[in-house]
Each structure stands twice: as structure tokens, then as C-alpha cells.
Structure 1
Amino acid sequence: MPLPDANTPFPDAPEPRLDAAGDVAAYVAALLASKRLGNQVVCHRVFPAAQAAYADPVRPFSRPVAAMLAGRGISRLYTHQAAAVDLARAGRHVAVATPTASGKTMTYLLPVLEEIAQNPDSRAIFLYPLKALAQDQLKAINELTAALPASSRPTAAIFDGDTTPHFRRKIRDNPPQILITNPEMLHLSLLPGHEAWSTVFAGLTHVVVDEMHTYRGVMGSHMAHVFRRLLRVCARFGARPAFVFSSATIGNPGELAASLTGLPVETVTASGAPTGSRHFLFINPEQSPSTTAVMLLAAALKRGLRTIVYTQSRRMTELISLWISERAGPYASRVSAYRSGFLPEERRAIEASMASGELLGVVSTSALELGIDIGGLDLCVLCGYPGSVMSAWQRGGRVGRALRESAVALIAGEDALDQYFMRHPADFFERPPESAVINPDNPVIAAKHLECAAAELPLTVGEPLITPPAMAREVARLEGKGLLLRDREGTRVFAARKRPHRDVNLRGSGGQFTIETTSGAVIGQIDEQRAYRETHPGAVYIHRGVSYMVESLDIAERRVRVAPGKVDYHTRARGQKMTEILEVSGEKTVHGVPVFLGRLKVTETVTGYERRANRGGQLLSIVPLDLPPMVFETEGLWWVIPKDVQDELDRRLFHFMGAIHAMEHAMIGILPLLVLTDRNDLGGISIPLHPQVGRACVFIYDGAPGGVGLSRMAFAKAEEALSRTLATVAGCPCETGCPSCVHSPKCGSGNRPIDKVACRFLLELLVSGKMPEKGDCRPECNEQQHTNNQKPGSGPALIKQAPPERYGVLDVETRRSAAEVGGWGNAYKMGISVAVLYDSSLDDFLVYRQEELPALYEALAQCNLVVGFNINRFDYKVLAGASPFDHHTLPTLDILEKVHARLGYRLSLDGLAKATLGARKSASGLEALAWWKEGRMDEIITYCKQDVAVTRDLYIFGRDNGYLLFSNKAGKTVRLPVEWA
């Protein structure tokens, strides 16, 4: 269907009045009257304007704050503002969750300003997830305090990635009373450098967290640890700040805030702010949602309505921007795309152009869902259901500020939830907002932050951060890897690295890939999991309306190289998945159907990609790929299909794999009704016979490594999930399956096999409970964590190692130095002055000269284990150069290799001996070389024996205790876990 141009506001609709520019009601009337689009509007609801409700705080404001409000013409507060201010002034932790544009800024700004007026030494940290929000906040503070005398105005400054090094130093040396920053700077700069920020942390009275609802899933799980680390540092300086959270309307603001901080939080959710009237329209288009969005945007441009169009993907954002630029005539330059992946300077320019009115329209992903100031808007077009009621209201709340009339148009896609609400619009308006979930126990995320916390301040046995069993297990695991190091007494734990913070990406559980053109210009970034699916070789990548072809995906360098190329198709990855059940953490039955919750290992392999035509979506070709698999552990739930149910479907000649595959897709599609997530955050696998279970299984799992709590909440609502999945499949009018019920847009097998009829029969049979599972379906887990029963704070589990029947400890002294033979690589030329072997069966030191090496080799061959320090890289090579010798057959333990493998760097024998044994080497290798030239063999032998004795005692200590001791770079004596196997 051809797209309209800007001269056709709505096809076949009456022409607008000449004075109708900016008239939302006229725009909606024209839409409803349109012959092409009017009958596609399945619901039109008008929310009338609401009057403000006011209240006074319990205690009057101090004179400076009262004068400041009076100067701004503010005589009273809205009810929710007054309630939140009272709690914050009392030092309580509070979460304010009210609609967009309800004046939440005052709920935290007023108590902070009052605290500063009363105590100039007090400090506050304002945390924003986006830099643009920080700029808006600084502007708001300056405007609000402009009426105060310059001498009494609070100081405020932004400290983020855009702050120049010069101003960073100035801010750090003389911190403002209000420090405006973002999660990354708190994590990367303030916390690891807390000694330099002592003025801030010692005087910290308030921590303001804006847009709290964005701290869910992966990022929320990260932030739960960042806030706990913040509280540890504050306690170090004797501060106990009050948290003030500001959030869009979500179902569990208090619970989320408490999960983020581990603190009790009170909530304020009833808004007293006034609102303008708002039209809400549901449109179920006959053409594609994007085509309809272009028509609505073109009509809005003609009327001068300031419009934002939200899309579900970067690609669709770029495509709609491209199409509107081709069709909008004189308005083409007044519309822009906006999404994550744009460079910061590009995003700032677009925001400024929208705020000034230079741009009339913007097409955005969720990147503009937050409260970035882009001026007053009239119309919000949702191109596809955003995935949650909360996001729909949050995005719709961007329009109609300043009590102006506004409109929100939800254009349905083919997705199951889109079509569900088109059939049940009342459910959307009556449905409460979803609850946000995080998972602080995610082992992948927790491990990274425990290392960061230990680098900031040593972890102490018994402190709350590492007391929970899950955290104790991670501490033990990190000690086992040498990333955390326990002190000699075993009571404090240090980080092995000084700044592990740089390896932590707060907005993802994996790494970031850089996207650059063949000329070397960086045009964006993409996370690791999406990189495999969206930027594989041959993929089409669109950036700011320009199509690029992916030439290479360099996984080792985390780099994607692209070249401009205009094509008439898009690409979609294909792949296959496998899952292994590692641990069961929950189980129950729903209508006789076993449902389990647990830890899974998922292996995903992208095997190829489809080329599909941009117009119509026709499959053009399938191109194979050879990419390495992505393997990660996560949380998931799985439905076990009772054997009698499977037998019944087989008896009726239904396609059983098609039935469970369709069930998997339909359930993933409907779960965002129950959990605050996007279907893209979930994965699924359907298996007709899982080897660990012995039954057919349908798996649904968190797409993020480690899991973020989505599966856990879905497991708690398993019965509702099953019934709603059946309702979705049964209620869809299609015959054989479609994206509104059992097809998935991201299915790696191209939605094959899928059997909707069989799926409906399967679900009806499961819900009926007529054929419950009679056998034991608890899986046999293939992995047992030996740290599961770890006593909190006891360190890594130490495995008692039995000594070998006979072992030897070897050291060799040479005749020539490395300099004399041309470098360490020529160790075979150094010659032997003496070799000493401690033989455990004799409990004696045996001395061999160069001419006696055959006897040494014979003695080594009798040992069950040969121990040395750098023996593989040095001693064996020296021996082989002096007399033919094949050391590869000897069972050898090289202590230095074990230390290096654990720490990533080498330690000296003398340093280990001093810290572990209180012993020292008696001399040095250079002295032994000088003695050889002087013929002082007795001194060489004594020195070599001492080295052997030290090496032997280190081996025995590590064998019996499971660790050695060394002095780290901070001068602390710490444990190095060892296992001599």
C-alpha cells in the first residue's frame, strides 16, 4: 500500500479548518472520520482533565526555602509532593511513583535544599540514568534557586563522562553541595576513589535516584550492588544518607527500592498533580503498523502538532524516519530518528532541536521514554505495544504537559500482546502497572561487584554484604580463582586487582562491541548477545537512515566492521539452542502438570540468517554462518508434558513437536502481561524428550546470563501463565498460527514446525487436569557445586590432598648466566654446576654434578611427583641442554606456574617463603654464578639445598592448608588458594 504524502492528512477525511493547527481534538476527529483509518480504530477513550489536589507539609519550610518557593510563584504543594517531602525531611527512605509530569522533582529537591540551608557542610548525590536528564536537573536547580542571594545559593555541578578532566579535578577538589552524576560515574570514579571524595561521603545526607523504574532486570541487578557498595563507603565515613526514589508508576515501587538498597522504604503513589484531557486510541491496522505510523505522523506534521513516534526496534526507528523523509515534503527536515547507539553529541543536538521547536517530530526507541526535556508535545504514536502497561503510560505521559489537550495512539502489531489488547481494550485501562524485578543474587553480576567492593574496602567476615549464602559462595569461588585474597588470619578479604571496576558494564551482563565503518569511524555500540544476532557477517545494519552491510564480526577484538550499502531487504538470524539443567530451586504442579524452577546452562548457536524483502517480508534466501556458540548460565522454568498427554497427541496424529513449539512461543508472548519485561528478554526451548527428565519439556528462561528474576516471577504465576496462554491461542481468529498467537519474530528455526491446532488441544488437555503426570520428573542434575554448603565467610572449600607415595623436589644451579648465553631462551646452554634433589622416601638431599646427571634422571623416574619452582621453563631445559633428557613423562608440579595461573602474574620464591614460612633464600643466583667461577662448590650446594628445602616446605604447606601466603601490592599479607593436583 503506498504511503501518503504530507498533503493528505488523513485519506478521505474532511479537510481541516484553516485555524486548526495544533488542535488535537480536530486531529482526532479527522482520524475517526477517515474512510481508510476510521474503521481501524477499535477503541477511543477520552480521559477528562483533573484538578490539582494540594496539601501543606507537616512543618513549615525554613525561611530560605519558603522565600525561594514564593519567588517562583509556588504557594502550595501537590498532595504527593507534601507527603514525600515530609518523609524525606524526617530522614526516611521514600519512593515516589506518580505519573509523568506530576512534579516529582520537588519531592527531593526541597528537602535537599532545606538541609543545605541549615547545614552548608551537607552533601547530596543526584543520580540519573541518562546524561541529558542530569543537564535538565541542573537547569531546574538553577531556575528554582535564582531568587536566592548569590551567597546563599547551593552549589551544584554535573560530574559525568562529558565533564572535562580539568573540571573533574576542580569538582573533586572542591565538591559541590549537590553532585549530579550517573550510575557509571558512581561506580567507576566516586566509589573506587572514595578517599578523594571524603568531603562528599562524610557529609552525605541524601541520595536521590531518579527514574527508578529503569533499574530493573540486568541494570537493576547491577545497581543493587552499587547501592550496597555506596552504603559501605558511607559507613566508612560515618554517614547514613536517606534515599529518595522517583519513579514512573509501577506495581511495586517500595519493594523495588528495598531490593535495590536492602533498606526499608516508604512509598507515595497517589498523585495530586493536575492533568489535561487526553485522547487514547487503539488502532488495529489493515496495513503494517509502520505504514500507519507514517500516515499519522504525516497528518500531524501538516497540522503543526508536535509528535513523538515510539518504535520497538532500532531498525524500525530508522526505517520510519527514512520513509517519512521521502513522503513529508517540506516537513522532511523537521523529523529525526533518536535511539541508543547514536553518539552523545548526536543525541544532544536532537534534544535541543525538539525543545526549541526546530523539529516537529521525532521517531524514537525507548531511549526517549524517560523525562528528557524535549519541550511540550501534542501527540504520541506507539508503533506497537511497548511490552508493558507501565511503558505505555510512561511514553504517553510525554505529551500534554502544561495541561494541554493531547492524544496517544497505540497501533497494534501482530504480536500476541498487541492483539490481546485490541480484543480486550478495557483490560489495558483497568490493569494495574506491572511489578519490576531484579536479582541481586545473579552470580555473574554479584561476582563482579564483590571484587569491586573488596577493592574499595576489604571485606570482613560477618559483614552483611557477604553473609548471605549466595554471596558467601561467590566469595569462595572468587578466592578459588585468585580474584579475592584472604589475609593470613582469614578474617579479611582483599581484591587481587586495584581497579576491577573497568570490567563491569552496568547496563549489560556481557561485553560491548564497537561498530565502525571501513574508514574507521565509530557509529555505535551493541551488546554481546545482540551482536551475534544483529551484526553477524552479511547482516544489514541501519544507522540514522543509512544502510550498512556488516563485513566482519571480530569476537576477540569486540569489533564490528560495516560498509555503506543500499539493499531492498533486511536480515534475520537463524540458530539452534540446547539446555542443560544444573540445579532445581523450586517445583510444583499446575493441574497435574509438573513445573520446575532452576538454574540452566543454555548453548545458543547462530547457524545462518534469512534475507527478507523490506516490502512484504518475503523470504529471499537463507545464508549459512559458522559462528562459535554462546554458552551461559541463567534461571529458567520448565513445564514437563505428562507422558499420557504426549501419547494422546500422538494417538490423534497431531504434530507433537509443532504443539510444544507453539506453546513455547505463545507463553513467551503472553508473559509480559505478568512480568515487567519484553519478550526479547526471555528465551525458550521446546524439547520432545529431554535426557535429564525423560519427558517432553517446554523451557522459558531469562535471556541475561545469571538471570534477573523474570523466570522466578513467572514461576510464581505459573497457573495464570498457562491459562492466559490457552486464552491467547484459542482467542486468535487465525487458522494455522500467526504472530498474534504462536509465531515468534525471533524464532531461530523460522517458526517451523508450528501446529496451532495441536497446541490448542495440548493446552486444553493440560488445563483440564485429566491426564496428570504419574511418574517422577525431577531431573538428574549434572553439576554439583561443592560450595553449596559452604559456611559463610570460611573461604574457598579446601580439598585435603593426600601426599604421593614418593616425591622429589628439584633445583638446579648453572655455570653461565642468561647474558652469557644470549638470553633466557638459551637456557639449554647454561650448563650445570650442581643439581639437588630432595627425596621424600629417604628424607634426604641428593647432590648431583653435571657428569652425574644420568643418576639424577634415574632417581627422578622413581618419583610419583617432581616438585619445583619454575621447573618447566628453566630447570628441565637446563638439564636437557647438559645431557639428553625427556622430562615430559615425569609427573611434575611447577609451583610458579600454579601461582601465575591463579594470579595472572608471577611471585618470587623468596617472597612466598618469607610470607608463608618466615624463611628466606640464603643467597641469590648471581652469587651462585660467582661462586662457580671461584670454585666454591660447598657454598653453591648449601645455597641450592636451602632453595630446595624452601620449595619443599611451600609444597607441604600448600598441600596441607590449601593456600600459600604472599604480600600483595598494597603490602597486605594475603592467602593464595592452591590445589596441587
Structure 2
Amino acid sequence: MENPVTEYVSAMLDSERMAHQIAHYRIIEGGDARFGEVRRPWPAPLRGALSLLGIDRLYDHQAEACDRVRAGRHVVVATPTASGKTLTYNLPVMERILADPEAKALYLFPLKALAQDQLKGFNELAALLPLDGQEERRPTAAIYDGDTTPHFRKKIRNSPPNVILSNPEMVHLSMLPHHAGWAEFLAGLTHIVVDEVHTYRGVMGGHMAMVFRRLMRLCRYYGANPTFVFCSATIGNPAQLCRMLTGLDVHPILESGAARGGRHMVFLNPDASPSQAAIQLLRAALARGLRTIVYCQSRKMTELISLWAAERSGEFKGRISAYRAGFLPEERREIEAKMSDGELLAVISTSALELGIDIGGLDVCIMVGYPGSIMATLQRGGRVGRSQRDSAVALIAQEDALDQYFMRNPDDFFSRPPESAMLNPYNPVIMDRHLVCAAAELTLRRGEEFLREEEVGSRVDELVELGRLFEVEPDLPGHAAEIVSHLKRPHRDVDLRGAGSQLHIEDVSGGAGRKEIIGTIDAHRAYRETHPGAVYLHRGRTYVIRDIDFGSGAVLAAPERVGYYTRPRGAKDTEILEVLGSKPCFGIPVHFGRVRVTEQITGYEKRSVRGGKLLGIIPLDLPDQVFETEAIWFDIGHDIRRRCEDEYLHFMGGIHAFEHAAIGMLPLLVMADRNDLGGISTPMHPQVEGPAVFIYDGMPGGAGLVRQAFERADELVGTTLKTISDCPCELGCPSCVHSPKCGSGNRPIDKRAARFVLEAIRSGDPNSVTVKEIDVNTLPGIDLKKPAPKRFGVLDIETRYSADEVGGWGRADRMGVSVACLWDSGEEAMYDYEQDQMDELVTHLKAFDLVIGFNHVKFDYAVLGGLHPFRFRSLPNLDLLVEINDRLGYRVKLDNVAGATLGVGKSADGLMALKWWKEGRLDLITEYCRQDVAVTRDVYLFGREHGHIFFTNKAGQKVKLPVDW
């Protein structure tokens, strides 16, 4: 009898309807298991447990990993799905716990479902340990995540089990800021297991690089030095990735010894829609009883195929389920359980089931669209064919450039190594937020190990200069200064999956203040994706964006049925800030460096859902978005431009098409989505002094993506040329040079000109390339240094009545003036004005380049405004209270600042001055007011001369506060 998987594939190949759509078919042969022995035998309880599981030998990669972990070495195990990675950490961890019952381990998973799976596996192995009645020695484990109740969270903190299974957010938001409550756990931490480490790349990778460094810092503080065990899908640079994440040397284990069955690989380029082709393949698999997983690129596609399954699958209706983000945790657990025990025959999923959640053995994997990387394709395909069974993987192409590239070049897919996972561990936008968190967790000290990485230490110095961190004066001479944060709990303001602050997308259709949050968006992407008028999809519902309110952090949306989608239009500009590398790329120079990108969303297109017909362009008036990031740029040169124009080709359309196609191909080199990248092509860039094509990381600070592209620029150019040349279209299409996110609507685009430019680059001689120096000062900058005023005044007033006497602080205009004291720097003299001399005071104030005070703009001017019609706030003002409050985020009294900065205090207070007014002691009030003016003046002069002042924080420490006066 023929194998049902083989019969399924044969039927596909023989089908008149399907055969001509198959772009490629091949069988990847299976292989037998390879076993290895650990250097030291396991203790008797572990040997007994393994025997009960039917495991008498480990695969060779498992044995090598265990040996290294037992020796305290950091490892990353990057082997295919279902290769037994779990044992590589559970066995050494349990061995350590058996030897030391107080030993602890932290297991981190990117998804809650993975933690559930792993807890079950850990407990099953622990339950099999024959401990001869010594139950107290049995290793314990618990999950600590957002679903854990407050009661159990407290219980876990106060009496931690041997192993805690958690996720990055809980480490960042719970463990690190409240580390004193976790002291027992952190002090005993011997192992940190990081599963699915390849997911920590790009933006999240930048965050995790700092989370791991903060975690290791606190481990050292409590005397622990844990061993890291990383597990990964098959990627191109696992050891490099782990080093970027932690700064540690990590040994890679890449070859799997696990047995594997044969795999049928089918590439399908469908005549009709990819979703209809997927439905046909799914129906054929169900008819043969094959357990199937269908991966979709979007929730919408997932819902479409699930809808068919619900309506037209006949007898299989109850045996198919969707699985995606947005389902409740209990719904997901139920689906996983039904897949695992065979009750469900098929599941339709987004990438949520790409990771190693156990849903039992599957036979067929159908991918609707190329997942964006070879790694993800192998990872998804690896979900089927476990236990040496044959399996089938079908990749159904969409219109996307990468999908079509592999349909035309299937051998490239099978010969190409997996992409590298990249991140920027020192992205200043991300790092700054974590350094503030680190200082809030534990005072920073210069010279400590955490600051020895040059990029981290120098950034802390910059944050001190910027007033984001604060230097505490040492109590004793010769002691190193401490660096503190003025924020007690800054952690909630850091989103590990975003580059900046987050905006809530709110459904405002409920009326009168009733708003439902339906999603979040990074502030950096808000104007592009949720501008007023944008169509936003959420869980199958269509919303139209009404407004963005950055003040309240909200995007306001209302549900509306529309027959169109929107696409933003805009303009971009770039300025080169620093060149970090230059080299020849065939016949032209290519550079890598830091750039400043200015993006303006000028309007948006409305396009019909059916056919994409342009229905209109709506203008928008939105502020520019300016951010710094990393970029590569190709210096095309005037020679290629002239030759292109001599052929009567559209040069600008050519380099624009080159930019689009290169961005589309970049994910071949590095794990990225084209939405993670941006590009600018210009026929004349003032700093390059000629035409150039820029490709940059589309997030502030950079994600490390284009660094890899710089190293492999030749390959990028070659692949881009091949994509354009091989595409059968005549004028350009989404499979080669059109971009779905182009701000100018893919105009101008000239496919032939792009091919001419790329062939001209390819034919050039690298030895003839002269890399000219780029002047990063070509574009004019802005001098932000504030000049000192030629003549300034320092003002303070005392009132006749208290707030209670006039009806509250909001009626300061009724308080009256007992005396106003004013220092004149031009005459170096103090002047006193009583309430009947307001005209003279106003005349004097108008003579100054700057009027200085401490809360004078909000309070003193409100009082004076009740006595004189002059607009006091129109004066050039410097309010020291406002300046300090802006730096710290909270108010500090003048007495505090004067005492810490000048060593002097106030002689009295406002209540005493009110008492003196009732007693008719204007002389005492004037003396007190003059002293306040003198103190305010001296604080200002100290800050102007030294660039900082001091204040005393709530912990009683004398803290340096940078100022720019």
C-alpha cells in the first residue's frame, strides 16, 4: 500500500489542474540518528528517569551540549525543530538541583504557550526521578507570567521553586525593578535558558541586549554567575547573535543527530489566488486523513481559509480550527490539546505556531506565501514529519518579489544558507531607556563591569551630560561618584517590542467617553500607518482613523465599512552624519554610516479593494518625522547617469526601481521584513556630490540590518539584477521593482533603466574605484548653544494675602504685592518696588534681555497681572523652577537647590512674610525678598558658569543636575 503522503504528492503532480502550476518539486532524503555519550555518567536518579522514558542514549548534539553546560560553558543549540533541544538544558539543570537543592534556573520563552509546554515536560521528567522517599529533593518548577494570579506571584517570589519559566516582559517589569524581593532566586541562579533566541532580533533584540546585561549585573550583585543555554532555529549566525545579546562568548552546536524522515518539497506558483490554491491542497490532504498545518501571512488570510473550512468542509467541519493572535489563552490551549491528541485534523495559523509548541506529529505543511526567510521556511516545514515519517511541504507563491524570485530560482533556495539574525545592541534610542532603568535598579558606579563595554560606559557619560542620569557627589574625597536615576520606576515606559513610546488605538464609536483599546502602534510609525483617514484592519473589522492625539497617546478610530484601502504618500530626505565604512562594490563605492532621515507624510491614496484602482489622493498637513538611523548608500556616479541618459532611459526611474528591488531582496541576506527598511534614491545628493541610492534601518537608532548588507553589497547588487532581469514583466511589477509602501505611488519607475544601471555597476572594475571622502559638515547645522544675556534681571515678589484668603491659588491676581525686589545685572544693584510703583517696575523689566526667577512666570506674573495690564509673559524669561522641573519631572524647592549648590538656605518663608505684612514690618519682608533674589541670581550664575547645579534627592544624596543656561 502506498504511503498516504507519497500518494498525496503524486496526485498533485499528476493533476491536470495543478501540475502546470508546480514550479519545482524535489525530495529531501531522511537520515538515521547519530548518538553520543556524555563524558561523565548521569547520577542514578536521572539515569532511572531517562530509562523510564525509553531513552538509553542521547543524540550526539545533545551529548555535546550537556557536556559543555555541565562544565559551565555558555552554548547555543541551533538545530531543526523536534531535535530534542529540551533535554540539553533540563538534564544539566536537574543534575545541578539534585546536587544542590537551593540551585535555581530561569527559563525564558517568547510565548506563554511555550512555557506551558515546557512546564509539562519538566514536571513529567521530574516525576520519574526515583528518589527513594526523599521527595524534598524533587526539582520544582512554576510559571511566572501575566496569567499568574497575584496570590501565586507573591508565593513564587517569597518561596521560589528551583525553576521559574517566564518571558522577557516579566523579567523587565517584575524581577529587575523589584530585585530585592527576588534576592533568594537571583543569588541561587545557576542557569539561564533562552529558548527561540532567533526571535530576539531587530527592535526586540536591541531591547533584549540591554535586559540581559541588566539581569547579569544584578546576578553579580547577589553573587551569582549563571551559565546561559540558548536554543535556536537554524540561523546563519547563532553564536554572533548570542554575543550581541549578552556580550558573552557562546559555543555554537549546529549539527543535529536526530533521525529525520524524507520530505517532499513542492513550490507552487498558482494561476488564481494563493488562498484558493491552499484550500484545494488542504481539501486533498483532509480527504486522505493527513494531519495538516496551513501557515498564512496575515490574520485576514487565516480568517478567509478558516471561513471556507467552516462553510464547505463537510464531514471535516469539526476537525479544522484557526489559531492566531487575538484568541484567548484558554482557546489556544484547547486547540493545542485537540491537535496533540488527534481530535483536530488541520489548523490554520499565522506565525504563532511557527515556534516549538507541541501539537503532535503532522504530515503536511502548506505555506501561503514565502515566510520572509529561509530560516522561517525551514522552521515551519520542520513542524511536520516527526518520528521519521515522510512529510510534504508546499510553498504557495504570492505576488511578492521574494516569492517569485524563488519560484524562478528554486536551486538558490536549497543551496542558500539560512539568513543571519541581526540587531544593534547599542542603539542609543533603546539603550538610553534601559540605562535609566539600570540606574533605578541599582546605583551605577564608574568602573563596574556593566559600564566596561565602551559603548555603554560612554553613553552613560552622555546621559549625565544631558541630564537624563544624575551624578551624586561622593560622601568622602577620593571615592568614585555614583550615578542615579531621578525616576523610581521607569520600566513601564519601555516597550520591549517597540522603538519608542506606544500609542493606543481606541475605538471611539461607543460615544460619550466610552473607548475600547483595539491595538497599539509605535509612535515612530503612527503618522505613516494611522494618519487621519487611514483604513485600519483589526480582527476582520475595518476602522477609519479619525485623529492622532500625541498628548494623550491615543489614535482615535471608528468602525466603518468601506470599499477601499489607503496607502500613505510622502517625501523623504537624508543627511549623512558619520561614515563608518567605505569600500568598492564592483565599479562604484558603497558606504555605511549614520544618517538623519526626514520623512513627511503629504497625503494618502484611496484604492479600491477590488483591483486596486486609484480612487483619489487626499492631502495631509502633518509635522515632519526626523530620526537618526544606520544606512548603506551606493554612490552611483555621474558617468553611469550620463550613459543611462544617452540611451534615452529614465535615470531617476532606474535608481528608484533599483532601490525598491534591493530592499525587496535584502531579506535574502538578513532576517528582516521589507517593512523594517526604508530607502531614498536621489539624482543629486549634496554630500555625495552625485546620484545615490540609500537603504536604511526604518527605526530610530538602527536595528543592525543594513550592517550585514554593507558586508555583502556585491551579493545584494547581483541578486537585485537577477531579480529584475528574470522577471517576465515588461515595465515593472510587484514581483520585481514595485513597492507596496512607496511614498510616491511607484512613480517614476523604469525597469529597463534599473537593469542598465545595475549592469553598469556590475561591469565596473573594483580596482579603479576611488572612495572619496564625504564631508559630513556640508549641510548647515544649528548652533544650539545659548548666548549669555548682556543685561538680565532677577525678580521675586512677596504678597499681602494668602491663597486661602483670596479663594485659592487660582485667584493669585487678588493677592496683592507687599514688595517686589529686582536685581539689575547692568547696574549691579538691587531695586525694591511697592504695589503703587507697578509702572516703574514694568519699565525696568522691559530693559532686560532676560528676566530670571524661581516660579516667577506662573506665580509672580499671575499676581502682577492683577495690578497692571502689561503682558508679563511676553518678556524674555528663564524660570529656574520650570527648567529644573523639565529635567527631573518633579518640582524642587529653591531652598533645596541653594543649599546643595551654594551651601546657603533661606532666612524665612512665605508664611512668615505674610505674618510680617500684618504686623507692618515691610523692612523684614524686603530683607527676606532680597535674599531670595540674591540666592536665585547666584544659582543661575553658578549653573551658567559650570553647566550644572546641585540638588538633594529624596534619598538625601547630593546630585549633580546639568543645565544649559
Residue in 2 aligned with 1:415? 400
Pick aligned residue for 2:489 from 494, 499, 503: 499
Partner Cα distance (1:537, 1:865) in 2: 41
- Per-residue deviation, 1:523: 4.9
Contact 2:23 2:267 (8 Å CA) reproduced: yes
Residue in 2 aligned with 1:4? none
Compared CA separation, residues 311 and 777, structure 1 to 2 (3 A): farther
Partner Cα distance (2:321, 2:518) in 1: 17
Which is worse superposed, 841-850 or 745-754? Answer: 841-850
Residue in 1 aligned with 2:579? 584
Pick aligned residue for 2:542 from 548, 554, 568: 548
**1:56 maps to 2:37:** yes
Contact 1:550 1:560 (8 Å CA) reproduced: no
- Per-residue deviation, 1:578: 3.3
**1:955 maps to 2:949:** no
Structure 1 segment 560-571 matched on structure 2, within 5 A: 571=566
- Per-residue deviation, 1:774: 7.7
Compared CA separation, residues 294 and 590, structure 1 to 2 (3 A): same
Compared CA separation, residues 530 and 819, structure 1 to 2 (3 A): closer
Contact 1:808 1:865 (8 Å CA) reproduced: yes
| Post-superposition CA distance 1:24-76 (Å, at most 9, x none) | 11111111111111222232222233211111111111222222222222211
- Please state whether the residue corresponding to 2:180 is helix, strand or coil: coil
Contact 1:40 1:286 (8 Å CA) reproduced: yes
- Please state whether the residue corresponding to 2:670 is helix, strand or coil: coil
Partner Cα distance (2:896, 2:218) in 1: 32
Residue in 1 aligned with 2:659? 664
Partner Cα distance (1:155, 1:296) in 2: 45
Pick aligned residue for 1:107 from 88, 94, 103: 88
Residue in 1 aligned with 2:733? 738
- Please state whether the residue corresponding to 2:179 is helix, strand or coil: coil
Residue in 2 aligned with 1:310? 295
Counterpart amino acid of 1:595? V
Compared CA separation, residues 752 and 540, structure 1 to 2 (3 A): same
Counterpart amino acid of 2:629? T
Contact 1:318 1:543 (8 Å CA) reproduced: no
Compared CA separation, residues 136 and 236, structure 1 to 2 (3 A): same
TM-score if structure 2 supplies the norm length?
0.93
Residue in 2 aligned with 1:398? 383
Counterpart amino acid of 1:518? S
Compared CA separation, residues 507 and 891, structure 1 to 2 (3 A): closer
Contact 2:504 2:517 (8 Å CA) reproduced: no
Compared CA separation, residues 757 and 650, structure 1 to 2 (3 A): same
- Please state whether the residue corresponding to 2:655 is helix, strand or coil: helix
Residue in 1 aligned with 2:630? 635
Residue in 1 aligned with 2:325? 340
Contact 1:692 1:780 (8 Å CA) reproduced: yes
Partner Cα distance (1:483, 1:676) in 2: 33
Counterpart amino acid of 1:100? T
Counterpart amino acid of 2:61? H
Compared CA separation, residues 444 and 422, structure 1 to 2 (3 A): same
Compared CA separation, residues 635 and 48, structure 1 to 2 (3 A): same
| Post-superposition CA distance 1:871-902 (Å, at most 9, x none) | 22223343444456554564432211211222
Residue in 2 aligned with 1:23? 4
Partner Cα distance (2:508, 2:26) in 1: 47
Which is worse superposed, 383-392 or 503-512? Answer: 503-512
- Please state whether the residue corresponding to 1:249 is helix, strand or coil: coil
Structure 1 unaligned regions, length at least 5? 1-18, 788-797
**1:181 maps to 2:171:** no
Contact 2:101 2:137 (8 Å CA) reproduced: no
- Please state whether the residue corresponding to 2:123 is helix, strand or coil: helix
- Please state whether the residue corresponding to 2:230 is helix, strand or coil: strand
| Post-superposition CA distance 1:538-581 (Å, at most 9, x none) | 6555555x342335354435555666666666554444433333
Counterpart amino acid of 2:641? Q
Partner Cα distance (1:426, 1:157) in 2: 46
Structure 1 segment 218-237 matched on structure 2, within 5 A: 218-237=203-222
Counterpart amino acid of 2:493? D
- Per-residue deviation, 1:228: 0.3
| Post-superposition CA distance 1:714-753 (Å, at most 9, x none) | 0111122112211221222322222222122333333232
Contact 1:483 1:497 (8 Å CA) reproduced: no
Contact 1:583 1:781 (8 Å CA) reproduced: no
Partner Cα distance (1:833, 1:884) in 2: 19
Q: How many residues were matched structurally? A: 947
Pick aligned residue for 1:928 from 904, 907, 913: 913
- Per-residue deviation, 1:758: 1.4
Contact 1:123 1:203 (8 Å CA) reproduced: yes
Counterpart amino acid of 2:79? T
Partner Cα distance (2:97, 2:523) in 1: 44
| Post-superposition CA distance 1:260-300 (Å, at most 9, x none) | 11011111111111112211112222223222112111211
Partner Cα distance (1:974, 1:286) in 2: 70
**1:609 maps to 2:605:** yes
Pick aligned residue for 2:620 from 626, 629, 632: 626
Compared CA separation, residues 654 and 611, structure 1 to 2 (3 A): same
- Please state whether the residue corresponding to 1:398 is helix, strand or coil: coil
Which is worse superposed, 652-661 or 558-567? Answer: 558-567
Aligned Cα root-mean-square deviation (Å):
2.8
Compared CA separation, residues 864 and 666, structure 1 to 2 (3 A): closer
| Post-superposition CA distance 1:330-370 (Å, at most 9, x none) | 43443333333445444444333433434322222222110
Residue in 2 aligned with 1:674? 669
Residue in 2 aligned with 1:79? 60
**1:752 maps to 2:743:** no
Partner Cα distance (1:866, 1:570) in 2: 54
Counterpart amino acid of 2:382? G
TM-score if structure 1 supplies the norm length?
0.91
Residue in 2 aligned with 1:16? none
- Please state whether the residue corresponding to 1:197 is helix, strand or coil: helix
Contact 2:503 2:555 (8 Å CA) reproduced: no
Compared CA separation, residues 299 and 72, structure 1 to 2 (3 A): same
Residue in 2 aligned with 1:794? none
Which is worse superposed, 221-230 or 826-835? Answer: 826-835
Structure 1 segment 530-541 matched on structure 2, within 5 A: 532=527, 541=536
Pick aligned residue for 2:722 from 715, 722, 727: 727
- Per-residue deviation, 1:852: 4.3
Partner Cα distance (2:685, 2:781) in 1: 22
Contact 1:517 1:523 (8 Å CA) reproduced: no
Residue in 2 aligned with 1:831? 816
Residue in 1 aligned with 2:647? 652
Contact 1:516 1:559 (8 Å CA) reproduced: no
Contact 1:536 1:550 (8 Å CA) reproduced: no
Contact 1:810 1:837 (8 Å CA) reproduced: yes
Structure 2 unaligned regions, length at least 5? 475-479
Partner Cα distance (1:399, 1:821) in 2: 79
Residue in 2 aligned with 1:3? none
- Per-residue deviation, 1:695: 2.0
Residue in 2 aligned with 1:508? 498
- Per-residue deviation, 1:394: 0.6
Contact 2:589 2:770 (8 Å CA) reproduced: no
Compared CA separation, residues 785 and 334, structure 1 to 2 (3 A): farther
